[in-house]
Structures are given as structure tokens and as C-alpha cells.
């Protein structure tokens, strides 16, 4: 997964990769079954965000980095055994933060 000689990563790209590697390292300290679940969730989340989030939406990317770092800190806690994923469909939420469906 090396980069070519002329290709450099931005600071934010380095932070994202560091966060991803941190999750994979933290997963190693869990049981084999939980490690596989964690790796799967992390891979899916990062892949989904890489496709859905505009690369120029720096505020949202910074938010995702902060949220990810909080989740990583929790995962590093020895008492925490696993990780879960929450998917929200923002298209079904109106501007007041309530559901547009009855």
C-alpha cells in the first residue's frame, strides 16, 4: 500500500489512516471473534465514508475524525469487548431534527 514518489498525503489523510490503523491495533487486544467483527465494522465504515463524504467537506471529515478518536479511546479500554455501528439515513430527517415520517 505504498505511495508513488510524487504522491503526498495531506495532513487530514494521514490522520484518517492513523485512525484506521489505530482501530486495527486496538482490535488485536480483543478475542478472535470480536477482532473479526471490529475489523469488519471498521472496514465497512471507512469504505462507506470514503464513497459518501465529499473530500472537500473538511468540517464533516474533522467531525468524523473526532468521533472516531472517541470511539477508539473507548475501544482501547480493556473492559470494552466490542464495537457496534450506527447508520442514520439523514434524508429521512427534516431540518428540525425530527423524523419526517409519522
> What was the pLDDT predicted at 78?
84
In this predicted structure, the answer to whether residue 99 has a pLDDT above a threshold of 80 is no
Entry pTM: 0.73
> Could you report the per-residue pLDDT of 26-56, keeping only the tens digit for each?
999 999 999 999 999 999 999 999 999 999 9
> Could you report the per-residue pLDDT of 65-97, keeping only the tens digit for each?
999 999 999 999 888 777 765 555 555 545 454
User: How confident is residue 100, by pLDDT bands cut at 50, 70 and 90?
Assistant: very low
Grid cell, residue 61, equals 471529515
Amino acid at each position: 500500500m505504498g505511495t508513488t514518489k510524487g504522491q503526498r498525503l495531506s495532513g487530514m489523510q494521514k490522520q484518517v489512516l492513523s485512525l484506521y490503523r489505530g482501530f486495527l491495533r486496538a482490535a488485536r487486544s480483543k478475542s478472535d471473534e470480536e477482532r473479526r467483527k471490529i475489523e469488519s465494522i471498521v472496514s465497512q465504515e471507512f469504505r462507506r465514508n470514503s464513497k459518501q463524504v465529499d473530500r472537500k467537506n473538511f468540517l464533516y471529515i474533522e467531525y468524523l475524525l473526532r468521533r472516531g478518536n472517541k470511539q477508539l479511546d473507548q475501544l482501547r479500554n480493556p473492559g470494552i469487548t466490542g464495537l457496534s455501528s450506527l447508520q442514520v439515513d439523514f434524508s429521512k430527517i427534516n431540518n428540525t431534527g425530527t423524523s419526517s415520517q409519522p
